[in-house]
């Protein structure tokens, strides 16, 4: 099985969650692309390349995406028909990113919204798992995540503070080990 970890906005392929996945699943089995590119167009090109690579592998590939990386994971999953786990996903980037920084050009936010629409119209519910934390102060998942899924995903799990915490998903190692 091949696994991918897609990091969120402002993070990197060396994020703690990526390193935890490599430790649990084996470093040789986990790839973490770098989405810190110059433009949204370059991100879309990287994602479309991943779709082509993953499409043939289908059930032999699984993607874990955190925050904006969750949107990217759902996009690739929708087009390549592979499984995905979304951690505190940012499925409406136009509502979140513009409130965080003005450094992201509007055209890149629009591109992210286009990815969101593609993911929304093409996701395969039985291949999607969603984990959110109740203590996420960045995204209100009751308003912005759960309603996104017009067909309920295979799993929608909401963790209390004693299991996992915050938007960064502190406690990921223990819940990933236990529930994945």
For residue 98, what pLDDT is reported? 67
- pLDDT tens digit sequence for 52-84: 999 987 679 999 999 999 999 999 999 999 999
pTM: 0.94
Contacts of 168 (CB under 8 A, 6+ apart): none
Number of domains within the chain? 1
Residue keyed to tokens 């236990």: 178
- pLDDT tens digit sequence for 15-51: 999 999 999 999 999 999 999 987 889 999 999 999 9
For residue 11, what pLDDT is reported? 94
Which sign, positive or negative, has the C-alpha torsion 124, 125, 131, 137?
Answer: positive
Residue 116: give the domain boundaries. Answer: 2-179
* Structural element, H or E, at residue 41: helix 40-55
- pLDDT tens digit sequence for 113-136: 899 999 999 999 999 999 999 999
State the CATH number of the domain containing residue 129: 3.40.50.1820
């Amino acid at each position: 099985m091949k696994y991918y970890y897609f990091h969120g906005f402002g993070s990197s392929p060396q994020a703690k969650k990526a390193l935890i996945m490599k430790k649990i699943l084996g470093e040789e089995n986990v790839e973490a692309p770098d989405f810190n590119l110059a433009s949204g167009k370059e991100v879309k090109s990287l994602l479309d390349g991943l779709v082509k690579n993953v499409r043939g592998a289908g059930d032999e590939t699984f993607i874990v995406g955190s925050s904006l990386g969750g949107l990217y994971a759902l996009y690739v999953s929708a087009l390549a028909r592979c499984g995905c786990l979304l951690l505190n996903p940012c499925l409406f980037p136009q509502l979140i990113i513009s409130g965080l920084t003005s450094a992201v050009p509007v055209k890149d936010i629009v591109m992210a919204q286009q990815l969101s629409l593609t993911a929304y119209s093409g996701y395969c519910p039985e291949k999607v798992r969603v984990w959110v934390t109740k203590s996420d102060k960045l995204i209100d998942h009751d308003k912005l995540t759960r309603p996104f899924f017009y067909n309920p995903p295979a799993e929608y799990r909401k963790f209390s503070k004693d299991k996992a915490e915050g938007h960064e998903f502190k406690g990921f190692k223990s819940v990933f080990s236990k529930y994945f």
